Amino acid sequence: MDLFGIASAVSGTITPPETVQVKRSTGYTVGTGRKQVPSYAPAVSVPANIQALDSVDLRQMEGINIQGTIQAIYLRGTLAGVIRPGGTGGDLVLRGPNFSETWLVVKVLESWPTWTKAAIVRQM
């Protein structure tokens, strides 16, 4: 049963999906001054549903001390926040006009075989 598809069809009448680009973190390279420079795979366009965080999600976010504009993203596939043993940072989500807004995945809130819900924070 495609639970994500069923939920998307219902929620899409209220909040239509938008096309975003996802850039998966591939780790980092070492730049000048031996500074780590994040690296990403090429962007892939996918439909996503962006919503406000609910009270359960806000409680999950309490302890990580994140400030700024935070939203929840639902999409088919996987997203990842920081994975220290793997040496990767958070994935990036590009949205807005011409994909000009960059959002960082800071926490995966739900992960299922076919879809992911994650908290994203707008980067300035």
Q: Domain holding 111: CATH number?
A: 2.40.10
- Reported as a pLDDT band with limits 50, 70 and 90, residue 6 is low
DSSP annotation of 85: T
Q: Is 51 exposed, middle or buried (0-12, 13-18, 19+ CB in 10 A)?
A: middle
Q: Is the pLDDT of residue 41 over 90?
A: yes
Residues 47-90: pLDDT tens digits?
999 999 888 888 877 877 788 899 999 999 999 988 877 777 89
Number of domains in the chain: 1
Q: Please state, for a pLDDT cut of 70, what percent of the chain lies above it.
A: 89
Q: Domain range spanning residue 117?
A: 3-122
Mean pLDDT, all residues of the chain:
87
pTM listed for this prediction: 0.84
With a CB cutoff of 8 Å and minimum separation 6, the contacts of 47 are 17, 18, 19, 20, 75, 76
